[in-house]
Chains A and B, each alone.
Chain A
Amino acid sequence: DSGSGVKKRKSRWADDESTPLVQLPDFIKDITGGIGFDPEVQALNSRLLEISRMLQSPMALDDRPEGARSPSPEPIYDNNGVRINTREYRARERLNKERQEIISQIIKKNPAFKPPADYRPPRLQK
C-alpha cells in the first residue's frame, strides 16, 4: 500500500476512455454536412439539452428567495377558477419558447436535424 495517510479517492471520471465522440474522417463529414462539428450548432445543442433537463427535473425553476424576485403579474384564472399563470407555469412557458426557438435555429443550420415530436414550427409571419 503506497502513500498511507493520503486519502485514496476514486475519480468521478468514468474509466472507459473509449467512448468519446468519434472523429469522423473528412469524406464522411462532407456527407453529414459537418453535423456536430459546427461549434454554433454544438452550442445550440448543448443549450437544448440543458433546457430539456431543466424542464424534466422536478426542482423549482426559479429558486430565488421571496424578497429577491420581481413582482408577480396579476393572476389569470381559467374557467374552473384555477390560477394558470403561476411562477412555475411562466418559467416553463419561457423555457419552452426558448426551446422551440433553438430547434428552429438548428433546423436552419442543419436541415437533416430531426426535431423532437412535440416541436411545432413557428408560423410564418406575413
Chain B
Amino acid sequence: QKLMLQGGSATKVMCLTHALSVDDLKDDEEYEDIMEDMRQEGGKHGALVNVVIPRPNPNGEPSPGVGKVFLEYSDIEGARKAQTAMNGRKFGGNQVVAVFYPENKFAQGEYEG
C-alpha cells in the first residue's frame, strides 16, 4: 500500500537538472546565493541532510555533474515530496527537472549520469 508515484525508483537523493548554467557557478557570491536558495526551498519539503552543487574546475577541465543540484533528505518521503513539488518549477527562469538519484552513486561522490 505504498504510494508509488515514480515507479519503484524513489531514493533519498533528489537531483535537479536544467536549473543552472556553468556561468552561474563560476562566481563565488552567486554560488553562495544559489546554495542558499536551494537549502531554503529544499528544506520546505523535508529534512535536508546534504546539498551538493558541483562547480566547474577553475582550470577549465570538464568536471562531473556541473549544472546539477543534489538534495539529500533524511528519508525517502522528504525526497519524494520535493521531487513532486520542484519538478517543473522555475529557477531563475529555467524550468527545473527533478529526478531521483541513486543513493550509492551519490555516497561515492559520483555526480555524472
Contacting A at CB under 8 A, from B65-91, are: 84-91
Is A39 touching B88 in the complex (CB atoms < 8 A)?
no
Interface size class of A (residues with CB under 8 A): 20 to 34
- A19 in the interface (beta carbon within 8 A): yes
Is A21 touching B88 in the complex (CB atoms < 8 A)?
yes
Is B89 touching A63 in the complex (CB atoms < 8 A)?
no
Residues of chain B within 8 A (CB-CB) of A20 are 84-89
Residues of chain A within 8 A (CB-CB) of B40 are 11
Residues of chain B within 8 A (CB-CB) of A46 are 17-18, 97, 99
- B61 in the interface (beta carbon within 8 A): yes
Q: A82–B86 Cα gap in the complex (Å)?
A: 48
Residues of chain B within 8 A (CB-CB) of A39 are 6-7, 9, 99-100
Of all chain B residues, the one with the shortest Cβ separation from A11 is B37
Is A37 touching B89 in the complex (CB atoms < 8 A)?
no
Q: A64–B63 Cα gap in the complex (Å)?
A: 11
Is A19 touching B33 in the complex (CB atoms < 8 A)?
no
**What are the interface flags for A62-81 relative to B under an 8 Å C-beta threshold, 1 for contact and 0 otherwise?**
01110010000000000000
- B52 in the interface (beta carbon within 8 A): no
Is B84 touching A50 in the complex (CB atoms < 8 A)?
no
Is A14 touching B90 in the complex (CB atoms < 8 A)?
yes
A24 to chain B, nearest CB (A): 11
Tell whether A37 pairs with B97 under 8 Å between CB atoms, given A12-B37, A12-B91, A20-B85: no
- B36 in the interface (beta carbon within 8 A): yes
- Chain A positions within 8 Å of B, measured between CB atoms, are 9, 11-14, 17, 19-21, 23, 37-39, 42-43, 46, 49-50, 53, 63-65, 68
Supply 5 further A-B pairs (C-beta < 8 A) apart from A12-B33, A20-B89: A11-B40, A11-B41, A20-B86, A46-B97, A63-B60
- Chain B positions within 8 Å of A, measured between CB atoms, are 5-7, 9, 17-18, 33-34, 36-37, 40-41, 59-62, 84-92, 97, 99-100
Can you list 27 A-B contacts with CB-CB less than 8 angstroms, sorted by A residue number? A11-B37, A12-B33, A12-B91, A13-B89, A13-B90, A13-B91, A14-B91, A19-B90, A20-B84, A20-B87, A21-B88, A39-B6, A39-B7, A39-B9, A39-B99, A42-B99, A43-B99, A46-B17, A46-B97, A46-B99, A49-B18, A50-B18, A64-B61, A64-B62, A65-B60, A68-B60, A68-B61
